[in-house]
Structures are given as structure tokens and as C-alpha cells.
Structure 1
């Protein structure tokens, strides 16, 4: 017998540790409400921290920057860079390598993330070889 589909309220009190290296506030996902086509969660990046290089296979991501400022290396070789400020919307196409980080040494930044994959972590593919290349290219600037 299939479970009854109905509206669900989530008061986020749980977090989970993502493959990307950050802790996410659990919200809407296959795991929490049995969603079929969307995952939404809240991410706070501590000062000076960055995610592991990764991509989301076959799934798009939409982000709204709630507080602070974030930045991201992205592209096939993580050779492109952008900054995202409070109030900005960001779109990341499916399969796009990216590595977000918090450029501030003192302030956290918080964003609302939504992805077309209902599973919290299923489409995350880590790219350690790309991250190693990025680290090698940026070793002299650190």
C-alpha cells in the first residue's frame, strides 16, 4: 500500500554532513518528505571554509544568497570564478564542476539551495583530481 501523499511542514532541527564537506540543515528531500523531483536545504559556510570540488550529475541547482558573501570556482578546470552577494540568485547547470567557499575570515554566509534531484546526496560526485589540479595552480598565490 502506497503512503498517503499530503503537504508536509518541516521545522529544520536536524543537519547532515554532505560529501562536499559541509553540514546542511535538513529540509525538503526524498529522505525527509518523500519528494519526487526536488531537494531544498539551507547551507551556512563558516568563515574561510570551502567545499570539496564536485558536480551534480544530471541535476540543476538554484541558490539564493540569504546572508553574507560567498564565492565559487567553477568550470571544466575550475578556472572560472564568481562572487555571490546577499540577495543574489545563482544557477548551476547539471554536470558543472564547482567548488564554493566563504572568502570572509570572520563572517559566515548562508544560502538556500534547491536541486532537481530529490535525494540529498545521490547525484553528488566528488572531483578530487580536479581539486588537486586547482590546488597545484593556486599554491603560489596562497
Structure 2
């Protein structure tokens, strides 16, 4: 291929932060903006005790989460009618287009690694303010 550069492996540390539409601050990680990723993003999330996201979904992208520390819960479903409790060592799969709302239910910080099939991470986030009242929290 003439005129194109070869792919390069990159190493990052979770250092800089950005404010996500969901209401959390995320540590910058693997994304199109940081390393030129084409089909995935991965970052670190720290949720303080009592912290929670806004109800949202990722329109066309799947999410995988690995909980490192703390305890959390996630409301999910068309009306946030389901509740999932999670803790260290749990892996969570969220299909594309599924409304959800994660929250820290413990007394210590919750820490997780999050990966999505959206290299821009925030591009497919759709806030769902109409579901906020359904959360009942």
C-alpha cells in the first residue's frame, strides 16, 4: 500500500480524565482519539460511593465491563425494570441499544474496566431522561 503508514502498537496509562455524557468522569484509555483505534475503546472508571450515571444506552455498540473493586448495581431494560448486583471479578455484558443506569451501592469506590465496540466511546451515547424517574433512587 503506497502512502499509508504501518499500524503501530501503543501503550497508555490511565491518567487524563474526561467527562462522559452519562455523568461519570472516565480515565482516558484506548480510543480512536488516543491511539487511532478502529473498532474498540477501553477505559477505567472509578465511581465514588453513592455515585450513579444518568439513564442511557449505546445505540449501536456493545459494552463489556470487568469489575475490579467495590460493589455496584445496574438497572437495565426498556423501563429499567431489571436490577443486577455486581462485585469484584464479575464480568458484565450490555448489548447494543439496551437502556441502563449503573450506580455504586457500596461504601467504597467502585472500579471497573470498560470496553465498547465504539472507538469514539461517547459518540453512540444516548441519554434517556424520560427513564430517570423510573429509577426510583
- Tell me which interval the TM-score lies in, with the shorter structure as reference length: over 0.9
Which structure: greater helix fraction?
1
**Could you tell me how far 1:11 is from its partner in structure 2?**
1.7
| 5+ residue gaps, structure 1 | none
1:125 aligns with 2:91: no
Residue by residue over 1:3-44, the C-alpha shift from the partner in whole angstroms, topping out at 9 and shown as x without a partner, is: 542001112210101000000010100110010000000001
Aligned residues: 135
| 5+ residue gaps, structure 2 | none
**Could you tell me how far 1:120 is from its partner in structure 2?**
2.2
Q: In 1, are the aligned partners of 2:55 and 2:100 still within 8 Å (CA)?
A: yes
Aligned with residue 101 of structure 2, among 99, 102, 106:
99
Q: In 2, are the aligned partners of 1:29 and 1:118 still within 8 Å (CA)?
A: yes
**Could you tell me how far 1:2 is from its partner in structure 2?**
4.5
Q: In 2, are the aligned partners of 1:31 and 1:120 still within 8 Å (CA)?
A: no
With normalisation by structure 2, the TM-score equals: 0.94
**Could you tell me how far 1:68 is from its partner in structure 2?**
0.9
Q: Give every structure 1 segment of 4 or more consecutive aligned residues whose post-TM-superposition deviation is greater than 3 Å.
A: 1-4
Counterpart-to-counterpart distance in 2, 1:3 and 1:50: 42
With normalisation by structure 1, the TM-score equals: 0.91
